[in-house]
């Protein structure tokens, strides 16, 4: 399975996906399909999680990268490959190249998380840090390809990549043959396009729903325009689907075969990640949790059985901590409050005593005495509290006000 540049828009067929599945036998894992009792109760129908977060390299990206590189001509392999990525695609290309004995160079942004940089190197790639954003990194990789003759491995905009990602769809049909709805995160569109080709060719009755972060939702305006358009300044915690423009190749497939593309908020993403961790005991990155976020945002909108594709689990620990706090806050389980009190001995202890009465767990305290906004005898305290939900948050605020404290935020 190999395509020239001129042939890069060749349609992706079910036979291509089945060929990719044979090629990936013994390379990519057939990842688990886990049922979720909590989500099933929420949706009112069986919900299953397709755990690509447990794939080798931590995401589905290995599938497409391996198929693409395996399909290169001998002279192309000899020239090596180059890619640009902040994480998942980088690791997929690095491992696939090592397995196939092909030299790989991966450009990553200077601010890429250290664990992802280290993992990419350990999988065998030469890593070059360039640029502050992925667009700059992408330009550097393409320039390197032009100068050296290395083959540029695009993360989603190639038929081989789409065929490889489509093997996820074949596995879903094998593991959950009664599936009625599949939810999948969408960035450039390679995974959604591949799944759509595989599933719709066999089961055209299955509804396929793409999910994008609202802050990086390039597909809805592109589908409305009938062509890929650029979403300016995409911003989302879900870096795995933070893509400003749909890929030309997957766009045509998504437009034809994907039934709907929905968007989810940052609050919904963080709540979904928290749910995966607490209820399913699965570490999932924000992009991978986007299908769960869609289920939580409108649970009655999906006919079951439902399969939600958890596309990746590569999340930086620092980001994980921030996202978990964000998710707890979105669920009313984390409260940050600022207030003023009289600056005298024992005042802070009295405040903490008032909080203990309403059973609020104090996680952090910041105490400011020197600020031009404060009076001579005033101090400002910022508290970070673990709470039990929105009603408990309201109870805490009411208790503070009744105790005579001025809550300012």
Any idea which residues carry the catalytic annotation? 61, 311
Token pair, residue 309, equals 């594709």
Task: Tell me the CA distances in angstroms from 357 to 353, 395, 399, 403, one per residue in order.
Answer: 7, 11, 9, 11
Q: Is there a contact between 341 and 217 (Cβ–Cβ < 8 Å)? A: no
Residues facing residue 383 across a β-bridge: 337, 365
d(CA 258, CA 208): 5
Within 10 Å of residue 5's Cβ, how many Cβ atoms?
Answer: 7
Tracing tokens 């620092």 back to the chain, one arrives at 318
Find how far residue 113's CA is from the centre of its chain: 15
Pairing of strands 406-407, 334-342: antiparallel
Q: Is there a contact between 156 and 247 (Cβ–Cβ < 8 Å)? A: yes
Instruction: Compute the 3-state secondary structure of the chain and give helix, strand, coil in percent, each to the nearest 5.
Output: 45, 20, 35
Is the dihedral angle over the CA atoms 327, 330, 331, 337 positive or is it negative? positive
Within 10 Å of residue 110's Cβ, how many Cβ atoms?
Answer: 12
Token pair, residue 170, equals 């074949």
Reported residue count of the chain is 409
List all residues 6 or more positions away from 38 whose beta carbon is below 8 Å from its beta carbon: 275, 279, 280
């Amino acid at each position: 399975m190999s395509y020239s540049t001129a042939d890069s828009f060749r349609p992706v067929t079910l036979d291509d996906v089945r060929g990719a599945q044979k090629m990936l036998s013994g390379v990519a894992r057939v990842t688990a399909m886990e049922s979720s009792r909590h989500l099933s109760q929420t949706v009112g129908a069986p919900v299953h999680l397709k755990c690509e977060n447990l794939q080798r390299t931590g995401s589905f990206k290995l599938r497409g990268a391996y198929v693409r590189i395996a399909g290169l001509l001998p002279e192309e392999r000899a020239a090596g490959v180059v890619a640009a990525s902040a994480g998942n695609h980088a690791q997929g290309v690095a491992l696939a190249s090592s397995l196939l004995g092909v030299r790989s160079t991966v450009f990553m942004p200077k601010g890429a998380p250290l664990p992802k940089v280290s993992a990419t190197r350990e999988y065998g790639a030469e890593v070059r840090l360039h640029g502050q954003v992925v667009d700059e990194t992408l330009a550097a990789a393409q320039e390197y390809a032009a100068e050296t003759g290395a083959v540029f491995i695009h993360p989603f905009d190639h038929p081989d990549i789409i065929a490889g990602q489509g093997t996820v769809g074949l596995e879903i049909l094998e593991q959950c043959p009664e599936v009625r709805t599949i939810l999948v995160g969408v960035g450039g569109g390679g995974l959604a396009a591949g799944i759509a080709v595989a599933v719709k060719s066999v089961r055209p009755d299955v509804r396929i729903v793409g999910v994008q972060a609202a802050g990086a939702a390039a597909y809805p305006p592109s589908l409305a325009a009938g062509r890929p358009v650029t979403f300016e300044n995409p911003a989302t915690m879900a870096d795995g689907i933070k893509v400003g423009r749909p890929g030309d190749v997957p766009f045509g497939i998504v437009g034809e075969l994907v039934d709907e593309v929905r968007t989810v908020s940052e609050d919904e993403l963080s709540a979904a990640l928290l749910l995966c961790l607490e209820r399913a005991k699965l570490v999932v990155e924000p992009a991978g949790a986007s299908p769960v976020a869609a289920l939580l945002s409108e649970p009655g909108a999906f006919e079951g059985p439902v399969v939600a594709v958890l596309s990746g689990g590569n999340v930086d620990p620092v980001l994980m901590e921030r996202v978990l706090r964000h998710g707890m806050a979105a669920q009313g389980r984390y409260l940050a409050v600022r207030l003023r009190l009289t600056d005298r001995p024992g005042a802070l202890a009295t405040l903490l005593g008032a909080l203990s009465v309403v059973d609020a767990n104090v996680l952090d305290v910041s105490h400011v005495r020197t600020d031009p906004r404060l009076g001579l005898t005033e101090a400002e305290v910022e508290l970070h509290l673990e709470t039990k939900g929105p009603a408990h948050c309201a109870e805490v605020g009411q208790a503070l006000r009744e105790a005579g404290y001025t809550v300012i935020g």
